[in-house]
Chains A and B, each alone.
Chain A
Amino acid sequence: MTTNNNIAPILKIKDLRKSFGENHVLNGFSMELFEGENLVIMGKSGSGKSVMIKCLMGLMQADSGNIEIMGKDITKLSRNEFDVLRTEIGFLFQGSALYDSMTVRENLEFPLRKHKRKFEDINKMVLKALESVGLTDAIDLMPEELSGGMKRRVALARAIILLPKIIIYDEPTTGLDPITAKEIIELMKEIQQKYGSSSLIITHDVDCARVISNRMILLIDGINYAEGSFEELSSSKDKKIQAFFK
């Protein structure tokens, strides 16, 4: 198993619990993400991956447990402090979540609105982010004019526009054809190398996990059931673990 005992984690979740009535979704989930690392979390549908991300991003309140992002306990932050911290995190949504009443340019400008920057600077940042995903030509298009893969690229550009230290990917390849999915995975690798950010990737896609992960966590029944590299986990004899790699 891979460990990083000497370095402080950039993101730390400890004993996270969340229930909806009698349905206990997270039963003490814990994890640590280190600087420059690509951590993949795999789990079946309904295993609590999305709930965990929502708790992490403050979109949902956990019943108990601790979440620390860059050493700051998010439950102790004011709304403004948390908003500032959120600018250090890029988030790629499963369905891209582009604002459909705005052009690609406006979508990318939106996260910059809180930061009082000059028009030229904003323009440069938008172009740089679009260049990173190879979509500078689409700058004035509306989301409805983009294909699924292009939408995912624009969403990725929006996630990296503030040069975040952590990028969270929620099912980055779901709903894409195999070729586009492969392109997106390559793009994620490129971005990680270019910006040196840490990545937390939630996925079902074994290929994606194999290509991109430094370390993996298997989320089963609301706990981190197994942890290790792709090779370690894929060669495990445990039936529950094997089910993921079939």
Chain B
Amino acid sequence: MKNSIQIPKSIKTFFIEIGELSYFANRFFKEVFTRPFEFKELLRQCYNMGNRSLLLVGVTGFILGLVFTLQSRPTLMEFGAESWMPSMVSISIVREIGPVIIALICAGRIGSGIGAELGSMRVTEQIDAMEVSGTNPFKYLVVTRILAATLMLPLLIIFGDAVALYGSAIVENLKGDVSYMLYFNKVFNALKFSDVIPATGKSFFFGFAIGLVGCFKGYNCKKGTVGVGEASNSAVVYTSMLLFVIDFIAVFLADIFFEI
């Protein structure tokens, strides 16, 4: 009698999906360097993802800075270490909290948007219509969106970090009588290249992951309108998980190369 191990269907599906996602990413890298380049559509997507996310990222960053400072203040005061506040806040926001929180916000805003848009284009045969007109829909729809997300996310994160530090400065100014000039002097003294470079580097990968998963889910959407909802929802769930994996790898590598 043979003893065969039955692999659960969910695990099989997971690995099939990972394989398909890798194939999709491979196709992106093949097509991104070949002509024709869709600059106009790329700019339109950059505007959609970047400019239209500014308010959301700004508000999130501002509240993040405010709350973080307000919550940390009493603990630092207990040790008489309020003067360390600008350094602590800036390092934690720039290195970790800012990029991760803003990337998660963008996964919701940008990733689900891409998933829903491409998904509805798939079920209403708009992608097929592009294909039969002799245009490459992958290049026009997918390559431009992934590139735009990869380029825009670092900018959004830098903007969000700056607003978060400003929010923190307001609390320090009101509660601790620290001038803005002094606060930002301390911030810039505390921050090193080894804080900024790995954080900015990983934000490109965050953007790539958001664009890639959103496009993958939307472009391969099935099952009519129900599929569009699933594509949008799973784009956010998968991207969020992927962001933490990328973050872990980035921190691990930064620890090796920059000795943080």
Which of A93, A101, A114 contacts B129, CB < 8 Å? A93
C-alpha spacing A97/B132, complex, angstroms: 12
Interchain CB contact under 8 A, B126 and A86: no
C-alpha spacing A95/B133, complex, angstroms: 16
Interchain CB contact under 8 A, B128 and A83: no
Least CB separation from B44: chain A residue: A101
Interchain CB contact under 8 A, A86 and B129: no
C-alpha spacing A99/B127, complex, angstroms: 9
CB distance from A49 to the nearest CB of B (A): 15
C-alpha spacing A27/B72, complex, angstroms: 71
Interchain CB contact under 8 A, B132 and A99: no
Interchain CB contact under 8 A, B132 and A59: yes
Interchain CB contact under 8 A, B133 and A111: yes
Count class of interface residues, chain A: 20 to 34
Interchain CB contact under 8 A, B133 and A59: no
A176 on the interface (CB 8 Å rule)?
no
A98 on the interface (CB 8 Å rule)?
yes
Interface residues of B in 30-73 (CB under 8 A from A): 36
Which residues of chain B have C-beta atoms less than 8 A from A101's C-beta?
117
Interchain CB contact under 8 A, B133 and A86: yes
CB distance from B90 to the nearest CB of A (A): 40
B135 on the interface (CB 8 Å rule)?
yes
User: Are A98 and B128 also in contact (CB < 8 A) when A110-B135, A111-B133 are?
Assistant: no
CB distance from B125 to the nearest CB of A (A): 4
Which of B36, B124, B131 contacts A95, CB < 8 Å? B124
Least CB separation from A88: chain B residue: B134
Which of B117, B125, B126, B134 contacts A83, CB < 8 Å? B134
Which of A84, A97, A158 contacts B124, CB < 8 Å? A97
- Chain A 157-177 interface mask (CB, 8 Å, partner B; 1/0): 010000000000000000000
17 A-B residue contacts at CB 8 Å? A54-B128, A57-B128, A83-B134, A83-B135, A86-B132, A91-B132, A93-B125, A93-B128, A97-B129, A98-B126, A99-B126, A99-B130, A100-B124, A111-B133, A111-B135, A158-B129, A158-B133
Show the binding face of B for A, using Cβ within 8 Å.
36, 117, 121, 124-126, 128-136
